[in-house]
Chains A and B, each alone.
Chain A
């Protein structure tokens, strides 16, 4: 995890909670929605609170997708749950709602959950693919990484395992002089 990734998670929290607050404020103006007139939901976009809320949620969506591109779903969701704390604080200071002791206890639990999950790894490690991508560095997609990795393996090595490490498993009948030096003692 680097600073850029923490900033993406921060953007997810801020835009998500602000969008929810604006949306809730706008829907209070509009009143109950009748399911027989679903188009009234589209008309709700004309409300400036709802419009700003949707704008925030679009930004939330972009940062959320960015986070999902490098972290597990089960990491991103709890890690961004601090947005609920922001939501409670925004309710207190902008909407002047009362924050009860239960609510503070909930905030504490959410903070513990967030702190607990962010101390773990953000991505499930899948040895073959992630190692190849790490090695190649410039591969555009996982497919590309796999194709490039397999193309780099000499044909004679593919039938005995298909990984670069398998080269070292060749017996004396192989051609060790053709292989790159591995940095052994000289």
Chain B
């Protein structure tokens, strides 16, 4: 049984990463297809559009918290436990948050995929 402190750090990784991903997804959707924007206006316009999007920096900050928490967790416990546990829980939490906050159409196909991948990630770690 893993110690409470390891689970706590994994929980911080999961919540911070999911929040960051939801914020970044929202920011990128409001800009639109970056590939099309780059083709029309160039790379400088893409960088300007991304950095001027108000949800971008909070999203990066959350991802950074998740990243450094992952580094701490990796140094405390086996990578074969920390990486898949945080990744599979992040997948499931992301599906829930995307449905609630981004109003994405999370249909049966996506729920099943998220669960298959989550279970698969756990098996890969065994």
Contact = CB atoms under 8 A, between A and B. Distances in A.
A28 to B, nearest CB: 8
Contact of B104 (A73, A107, A113): A73
A24 B74 contact: yes
A102 B123 contact: yes
A108 B72 contact: no
A22 interface: no
Nearest to B111: A74
Given A106-B123, A117-B109, A74 B40 contact: no
B126 A103 contact: yes
A113 B117 contact: yes
Contacts of A151: none
B79 A110 contact: no
Interface string A126-145: 00000001000011111100
Contacts of A142: 29-30, 32
Nearest to A120: B109
A78 B114 contact: yes
A105 B99 CA distance: 29
Contacts of A32: 75-76
14 contacts: A8-B35, A32-B75, A61-B63, A66-B35, A72-B104, A73-B25, A78-B91, A102-B126, A110-B124, A117-B113, A124-B103, A133-B32, A142-B32, A143-B30
Interface of A: 4, 8, 20, 23-24, 27, 30-33, 35, 38, 41, 44, 57, 61, 65-66, 68-70, 72-78, 81, 84-85, 87-88, 100, 102-103, 105-114, 116-117, 119-120, 124-125, 133, 138-143
